[in-house]
Amino acid sequence: MLVSATEMIKKAHEGHYAIGAFNINNLEWIKSILTAAEEAKSPLIMEVSEGAVKYMCGYKNVVDMVRNVHDSMNITVPVALHLDHGSYEGAKKAIEAGFTSVMFDGSHYPFEENLAKSKEIIELGHAHGCSVECEVGGIGGSEDGVTSSGELADVNECKTIAGLGVDMLAAGIGNIHGIYPANWKGLNFERLQEIQAAVDGKPLVLHGGTGIPAEQVKKAITLGVSKVNVNTELQLAFQAATREYVLAGKDIDKAKKGFDPRKLLKPGAEAITAKTIELMEEFGSYQKAE
């Protein structure tokens, strides 16, 4: 059974580690990430962007697919299915379809509107036993057509949204989606500390997990980050392993049927599993599932 992220995030916050939230795209991603969580005995947040939901034929199909794969693999660790950067309509659809966790990203609205819509989604989510993440201040970079110039979240706005009873809060602290530019200044720990103090111990979420040096991620976790989002890094792991397979000419080996899609996609899928386990160790969730 898929679970809400509330309990696992609360425990992670108390235990000073973080749960990795890994973006999925298709069957290979689902299987590989579930395999990693089971092997690492780690709680897991499997997240999906609205673009990937569309690619995967809609909310209902994503819920059915993840549930069925999860059950058929006899997964024993806690797993939440989470909507990443949900729109107001998307978050509602995901909750109705059976997602166990959603992010409502209202950071592009004027604050009052973000607040009103966040309140509504939190109430709807909680009525369905679904955990809710909201966002204050844009996360830089671009993901699935959602772009933001990136900013440091306003501490008072964080406090106000946290007061709505949100389960976890994404707040910009200099992090961006995708590859970090060479002149990136790093995470702003001062702002992170100010936010954590203002939100009364509410768990915080670090977006843009790809490419942040491990020491900075670990420091952010000690300062209150309990969920780290990773998307691009798994895509790169998949791409590198697939490229190696193709460049070695294995796909054109007719005798070994290297063109069989299950063979062609296998190195990439295994690379996703290996990278996910590595990140679970880095975030400290390794062996934390009961």
**Residues of this chain that bind ligand 13P (CB under 6 A):** 23, 84-85, 143, 177-178, 207-210, 229-233
Question: Shortest distance, CB of residue 139 to ligand 13P, whole angstroms?
Answer: 6
- What CA–CA distance (Å, rounded) separates 58 from 116? 26
- What CA–CA distance (Å, rounded) separates 230 from 214? 13
Catalytic: which of 64, 84, 105, 200? Answer: 84
**102 contact partners, CB below 8 Å, separation of at least 6:** 82, 83, 86, 91, 94, 95, 121, 125, 130, 131, 132, 133
The interaxial angle of helices 214-222 and 189-198, nearest 10 deg, is: 20
The secondary structure element, H or E, covering residue 79 is strand 79-86
- Judge contact between 202 and 169, C-beta under 8 A: yes
- What CA–CA distance (Å, rounded) separates 220 from 3? 25
Question: Shortest distance, CB of residue 237 to ligand 13P, whole angstroms?
Answer: 11
Question: Shortest distance, CB of residue 274 to ligand 13P, whole angstroms?
Answer: 17
* Cβ-based nearer residue to ligand 13P, 62 or 245: 62
Please give the structure tokens belonging to residue 215.
């020491």
Residue 71 falls in the annotated catalytic set:
no
Question: Shortest distance, CB of residue 84 to ligand 13P, whole angstroms?
Answer: 5
Which residue type, as a one-letter code, is found at position 94?
A
Active-site positions read 84
